[in-house]
Structure 1
Amino acid sequence: MQFRRYNIIVASMIPALVTLPSSPWLVLPPGIHQASLDDVATAFATNAWRQELFDGLVDASGRLRAAGCQTVYLDGSYVSGKQKPGDFDACWDPSGVDPGRLDPLFLQFANGRAAQKAAFKGEFFPSSMMCADVGQTFLDFFQLDRFTGEQKGIISIPLSADPLLSRMVQP
């Protein structure tokens, strides 16, 4: 008689959300948490609206990757416990990006980033761009809870080898 044992371990790269006193919903613990788009879908595309936002994130991520972008950082109420976030906030690492291949939408910030929100259901900033309101780069600004000013986490999505983007046909 032979016995076989299998160890099936499913590990998410995204940590459990935590309570931040005085914040209206659960947030990621402080730090930059690396995850794939599939991980993001599993953790946050949990209803029809969140899936619609996720689809916009995937579209934008594919366009950024085509221009040479290596990393997108995901923030906002989308990566929180809020049931119906209004949108998502993201910033992208401009290192290695070919300006000639970059979709001009990623540099349109007029009217509250209306063009970006219409195209992607979220908004994007270069990670090194200064957020004038607070005098920090968007990468640093995104790691602060807007209600408390306390540190919170964000998601880092490496684009070059992301399995979901690799399965898609790129233009």
Structure 2
Amino acid sequence: MIPDHIDFPGSPWPVLPPGIHVATLAEVELRFASNPKRRVQFKGLVAALTGLRGAGCRRAFLDGSFVTAKPHPGDFDACWDPTGVDGALLDPVLLTFDNNRAAQKVKYQGELFPSAIPADRAGTIFIEFFQVDRFTGARKGIVAIDLSADPMLQPTVTS
């Protein structure tokens, strides 16, 4: 379940309370895909997570202004657990970080990073980096999605 946003003095928009909040993609859609721009971003997120699941990824974490109360976020930010991921099955765009991740933004409407790589010069890995509000330095929340069990990502059988 995704908790209500909280206000942080110094942060421009309310954010999720500290912690990793487990949710399904249906819950993410209901909560955050609230206008046309956010729906396009959500569709890109689902496409990226579908590809990650196909490569063996079991969990991803959603962050950025997409999970804040900002009315029109520029994109979403996410990181994914590389454990068990088959690089041969991974979309190369998900490992293309040059030009400010332009290829990812074009294809998926957001930016995605392996969760265990450094996000800053201090060596903070993305899963930790995403849990710090960039405006205040305070702890904030992110959303975890279980890719292996999410109904939106389950393959459909046709006869």
Classify the TM-score, shorter chain: over 0.9
Letter aligned with residue 48 of structure 1: P
Under a length normalisation based on structure 1, what TM-score does the superposition of the two structures give? 0.89
Q: 1:78 aligns with which of 63, 66, 78?
A: 66
Q: In the alignment, does 2:53 pair up with 1:90?
A: no
* Aligned residue in 1 for 2:6: 18
Q: Which consecutive unaligned segments of at least 5 residues does structure 1 have?
A: 1-12
Q: In the alignment, does 2:50 pair up with 1:48?
A: no
CA deviation vs aligned residue, 1:21-44 (integer Å, no higher than 9, x gap) = 110101000000000000000000
Query: What is the aligned residue count?
Result: 157
What is the DSSP-based 3-state SS (H/G/I as helix, E as strand, rest coil) of the residue aligned with 1:26?
A: coil
Q: In the alignment, does 2:102 pair up with 1:114?
A: yes
Does structure 2 retain, via aligned residues, the 8 Å contact 1:134–1:141? no
1:161 shift after superposition = 1.0
Q: 1:131 aligns with which of 111, 115, 119?
A: 119
Letter aligned with residue 157 of structure 1: I
Measure, in 2, the Cα distance between the counterparts of 1:67 and 1:100.
8
What is the DSSP-based 3-state SS (H/G/I as helix, E as strand, rest coil) of the residue aligned with 2:93?
A: helix
TM-align CA RMSD: 1.1
Q: 1:156 aligns with which of 138, 144, 149?
A: 144
Percent identical pairs in the alignment equals 55
* Aligned residue in 1 for 2:15: 27
Measure, in 2, the Cα distance between the counterparts of 1:72 and 1:124.
9
What is the DSSP-based 3-state SS (H/G/I as helix, E as strand, rest coil) of the residue aligned with 1:100?
A: helix
Does structure 2 retain, via aligned residues, the 8 Å contact 1:32–1:155? yes
Q: Which has the larger radius of gyration?
A: 1
Q: Which consecutive unaligned segments of at least 5 residues does structure 2 have?
A: none
1:132 shift after superposition = 2.8
What is the DSSP-based 3-state SS (H/G/I as helix, E as strand, rest coil) of the residue aligned with 2:88?
A: coil
* Aligned residue in 2 for 1:5: none
Does structure 2 retain, via aligned residues, the 8 Å contact 1:74–1:88? yes
Letter aligned with residue 71 of structure 2: Q
Report runs of 4+ in structure 1 exceeding 4 Å deviation.
none
